[in-house]
Amino acid sequence: MALFVHQLAAVPPDSMTNAPSLDTWIDAFIELHADYETSELNSDHPLWWAIERTIFILKPVDRETMWQFVIGVLARKPHAFVLECLAAGPLEDMIAHFGDYFIERIEYTAKSDPAFRELLHGVWKNRTPDALWQRIEIARSPGDASPAA
């Protein structure tokens, strides 16, 4: 296991007063999912807290921080498996729970960033309302498709 894991093992998963920095969280999320490809992933993993911070029902972070997290992971250009987990986990949940709040930002980012647009392909509808989901589908389509007014 990487040295980074041992350095973060003591980070408390449920303490917001001693919360790790955004960069530390991003690094841990990427490393955790890289480890998952080669070993079993469960709540005993020393970086499990990085997943717990992405679970909206636990309300560990505010939605703006979650947006920064998603964009931060994407910016690191991790391998495909990490991006699949990011799309099907934090981004999908963010859209399902706060899609109305983020939809204009999602549309703008998808139009200007091909990597983000591609990331949207890993998101499933989940609890996203139909009208909002149509906008997501348009946002993740290739070309200069503009969202319906």
What pLDDT score was predicted for residue 37? 63
Dihedral-angle region of residue 20 (phi above 0 means left; psi in -120 to 50 means alpha; beta otherwise): beta
Average pLDDT, the chain: 84
Q: Is 84 exposed, middle or buried, given 0-12, 13-18 or 19+ CB atoms closer than 10 A?
A: middle
Average pLDDT of span 7-16:
44
What pLDDT score was predicted for residue 38? 62
The CA distance from 128 to 135, in Å, is 11
What pLDDT score was predicted for residue 13? 44
Average pLDDT of span 9-14:
44
Query: Taking the CA of residue 62 as centre, how many other CA atoms within 13 Å lie in the half-sphere pointing to its CB?
Result: 3
Structure letter (DSSP) for residue 8: H
Global pTM exceeds 0.95: no
Read off the pLDDT of residues 127-139 as tens digits, 9 standing for 90 and up: 999 999 999 999 9
Is the pLDDT higher at 39 or at 53? 53
What percentage of the chain carries pLDDT values higher than 90? 60
CB atoms within 10 A of CB 109: 20
pLDDT at 39 over 90: no
The CA distance from 105 to 124, in Å, is 18
Average pLDDT of span 92-97:
94
Distances in Å between the Cα of 55 and the Cα atoms of 46, 104, 130 are: 17, 23, 23
pLDDT at 14 over 60: no
Read off the pLDDT of residues 47-58 as tens digits, 9 standing for 90 and up: 889 988 888 667
Distances in Å between the Cα of 56 and the Cα atoms of 93, 94, 103 are: 7, 8, 17
